[in-house]
Structure 1
Amino acid sequence: MKKIISLLCITLLSVVLIGCASKSTKLDAEGYSTKLKDAGMEINNLIIYTAETDENKLLGRPNQYTSKVNFDNGTIEVFEKTEDAKERKEYIDNIGKKMNALVEYSYIKDGTLLRINKYVAPDMAEKYKEAFEK
């Protein structure tokens, strides 16, 4: 009887562990850039930032992005919490309202902020958005 109970416990534990292992992991900024490129979007001159090379000195800081990349048409910033991404978007949008030269397209998905340069045509910005949201 003890052997049967032990075998059932081991089987149950194995199923639980396999289920946990199959959960998808969140992409970092470089992973999102790869997905966009695979979707046919232009991702040229990719720069992958570290805490030392981040010009804003926000990478890895409390409530800030955990990874960041720049490319010719924009920036991708990944946050631990969607709330932090929303606050960053709001901050950048407010700057754009005060200084038209800094306005840009911006989209949020799962704690990730995609920022597209204002010089990108609206229809192309929409394509970036669609590819990002898939």
Structure 2
Amino acid sequence: MPNRTAAALLAATAASFLLVSCSSADSSTPAAAPAPAASADQVVAKLAGKIPTVKLVKTYTAEDDPNHLLGRPNGYTSKAAFADSRIPVDQLDGTAPDSTDRGGSVEVFADEAGAKARMDLVQAATKGLDPEYDYVAGPVLVRVSHLLTPDQAKEYESAVR
């Protein structure tokens, strides 16, 4: 039994040495900067590539952002609205062309914590009403209309992941 323990310890030590050696060899090369997050309209384009019923409706600016969060502290860095043609037109009376009810929106934050905080805020505000489907992937929050069925919403979840 002591020989097995010694052999296991030796193997673990060798593995640790290899990991340290590899990491120290890589430390001489500069680390690559993290890739910037895609803009909201780029995310919508990717969604449309996976869900053919999606269409970009609007890319917001700081001047026309209805939430007044674009570019502001703790706000998103970009926002876009999209429509999903599977939502029945008769359920959209009185909604603005860029309403989340018509499909959804994409909000891109500086980091995942910002996206999660916004999702928590939106979900708390809509609790007991007509809660939307919300999906976070890194710094991206995809908000999907409550007028879509759960199975349709799962397509967004898969596309976002």
Counterparts in 2 of 1:79 and 1:45: CA distance versus 1, 3 Å: closer
Partner of 1:70: 81
Q: Is the 8 A contact 1:82 1:111 kept in 2?
A: yes
Partner of 2:115: 85
Identity of aligned residues (%): 34
Q: TM-score, normalised by structure 2?
A: 0.65
- Give the Cα–Cα distance (whole angstroms) in 1 for the partners of residues 116 and 152 of structure 2: 23
Q: Is the 8 A contact 1:59 1:67 kept in 2?
A: yes
- Give the Cα–Cα distance (whole angstroms) in 1 for the partners of residues 40 and 138 of structure 2: 12
Q: Is the 8 A contact 1:85 1:111 kept in 2?
A: yes
Q: Is the 8 A contact 2:37 2:108 kept in 1?
A: no
Indicate which of 54, 65, 78 corresponds to 1:43. Answer: 54
Going by fraction, where is helix more abundant, 1 or 2? 1
Gaps in structure 1 of 5+ consecutive residues: 1-14
Q: State the AA in 1 paired with 2:116.
A: K
- Give the Cα–Cα distance (whole angstroms) in 1 for the partners of residues 51 and 112 of structure 2: 26
Q: TM-score, normalised by structure 1?
A: 0.77
Cα deviations by residue, 1:81-112 (Å, 9 ceiling, x for unpaired): 211111111111011114x13x1000000111
Alpha-carbon offset, residue 132 of structure 1: 1.3
Secondary structure of the 2:127 match is helix
Counterparts in 2 of 1:127 and 1:55: CA distance versus 1, 3 Å: same
Secondary structure of the 1:113 match is strand
Q: Is the 8 A contact 2:104 2:143 kept in 1?
A: yes
Cα deviations by residue, 1:46-92 (Å, 9 ceiling, x for unpaired): 20001011011110000111000011210100000211111111111
Partner of 2:64: 53
Counterparts in 2 of 1:45 and 1:84: CA distance versus 1, 3 Å: closer
- Give the Cα–Cα distance (whole angstroms) in 2 for the partners of residues 121 and 106 of structure 1: 13
- Give the Cα–Cα distance (whole angstroms) in 2 for the partners of residues 92 and 113 of structure 1: 11
Alpha-carbon offset, residue 45 of structure 1: 4.8
Counterparts in 2 of 1:41 and 1:130: CA distance versus 1, 3 Å: farther
Alpha-carbon offset, residue 38 of structure 1: 1.2
Larger Rg: 2
Over aligned residue pairs, what C-alpha RMSD do you find? 1.8
